[in-house]
Structure formats: C-alpha cells, structure tokens
Amino acid sequence: MTIKTPSPLRERAGERVKQRIGILVAMPQECRSLTAKRVPEGGLLALDEGVLLGLSGAGPEAAARCAALLFAQGATALLSWGCAAALDPALKPGDLILPVSIIGADGQTLATDPAWRARLAGLLEAKLPVCQGKLLENRRIVSSAQEKQALFAATGAVALDMESAAAARAALDFKLPFLAVRSIVDPASIDIPPSIAAAFDENGVLHVGKMLGRALLRPVDFIGIIRLGRHFGAAMKTLQTVAAIAYSARFSSCNVS
C-alpha cells in the first residue's frame, strides 16, 4: 500500500515562510478547549500571529473548505483537533491519539508528519499516555459496538472521526505538513443510545432538542446520554491539557521537517 505524505515545507518565491499553524476544529465545544472566544462556524480566529483556528462544522466537506480557508490565510501547517470514537477496545474516554496515519473512506492512507508527531508526543508523554495508531475516516456516525468491532478487525485503525482525512488530503494538495490530535469520547464497547444516534443529521451534527424529545419517549436512553456526557467531559479535559502544555511551544511544530 502506498502511503502519501504531505510536504514538510511550504515555500513562496523559493523562501521559507514564517510558521503559522492552522488548527481545524469541527465543533464549538472542541474549540473551547483552545479558546474562550467565539468562533463563527466556517470562520477563523487568530489566537496569535502564529496560530490560526478554524471552526469547520462537522463532516469532510466542511473540513475541506476550512482547510482551504486556513491555507488561503497563510497557514504553513495543518492540525486536525477534536474528538474521536474508539475502535480499539483497549481505549477509554479521554485517551489521546496522535495517529501515524489516516485511512480515508476510499482506502487511501495519508501519513501524518513523523517529526512533528514525535516532537509533540515527546512534549506530552510526561503528562499523558499517547497512542500513535491509525485513525479511520467515516462519513457518518457509527453508533453500534458491533460495527466498531468490525471496523477495527477490517482496518486495524484504533479510532475514527469524520474530518481528519479531509484535512490530510488538503494538506497533501497544498504541500503542508499535517498532524491530528484526537481524544476519545465513546469507547468501542458501548452502543450510542437510539435517541442520540437519531438526533445526528447527515453531516454528523447533534441536534440536542431532537435528542431530548426522543429520550422523553424512551427514558432509558437518559442513562446513556448522561454517560456519554461524562465521556465527552473526559475527552475535553484531555484536549485542554494538551492545549495547556503544547500551546506555548506552538504545538512543537517549529522547524517541521
């Protein structure tokens, strides 16, 4: 299998440009692990001159648009940031994934930047265990433990999300280094309650009102909703820890090679 790797260097007129990390985030809740400021969906926020944050919205198409916008505004590297669902049964809520590669829904495998990943992992490992397995792209929410088990067996990927592969393809197109930082929400062993699963739209956006309305007709689902809320809290705590450690070091991305 051929693994495609984004270029480690972006140049303008033959000269290295100033480092600017473009961070792509799908959900406002995930954005709050990086900043308390509001970011409009589809918009950008400069955290400082070296870090640019983009709120894409859910799904690969939204992620591709956001990656293009980050590049147009001067990003010299792309970082996919947020949550993931576990496929590996050993992973638990709040576990950190720095994937070595992303497996696209089309079977294409895209490598993350190895030097960047190693520097960030080295910075974090004193505080957090880091898993560096493969991440799988999925274009819809996978709600059943049985399907997660089948995907793990078929691909060997440890977790899945909906945006990282699109960001990795954009990085390849734009010749930018790429990395993903993902924290586990739902472990592989649990089924997402029907009230939650039915409240996601085709783009992977959860509509809370719809979820609660369905749960009122199926009260047992409130147990799963509360549990998933705790899991999401664990994932956010991990992302906040990563941000607190890595932000001052520009996510260890200086001189990406």
SS3 73: coil
Q: Tens digit of pLDDT for each residue in 209-253? A: 666 666 566 677 777 777 878 898 999 999 999 999 888 776 765
Return per-residue pLDDT of the chain as tens, 257 residues. 444 444 443 444 344 457 889 999 998 889 999 998 988 888 999 988 789 999 998 889 999 999 999 999 999 999 999 999 999 999 999 999 999 999 999 999 999 999 999 999 999 988 899 999 999 998 877 878 999 999 999 999 999 999 999 999 999 999 999 999 999 999 999 887 766 666 666 555 666 666 666 656 667 777 777 787 889 899 999 999 999 988 877 676 545 44
Q: Return the number of other C-beta atoms located less than 10 Å from residue 247's C-beta.
A: 16
DSSP conformation class of 112? P
Query: Token pair of 84, please?
Result: 């993931």
Strands 130-131 and 159-161 come out as unpaired
Q: What is the largest CA-CA distance in the chain?
A: 63
* Structural domains of the chain in order of their starting residue, each with its CATH number: 3-189+232-252 (3.40.50.1580)
DSSP conformation class of 7? -
Q: Which residues, listed in sequence order, are joined to residue 153 by a DSSP beta bridge?
A: none
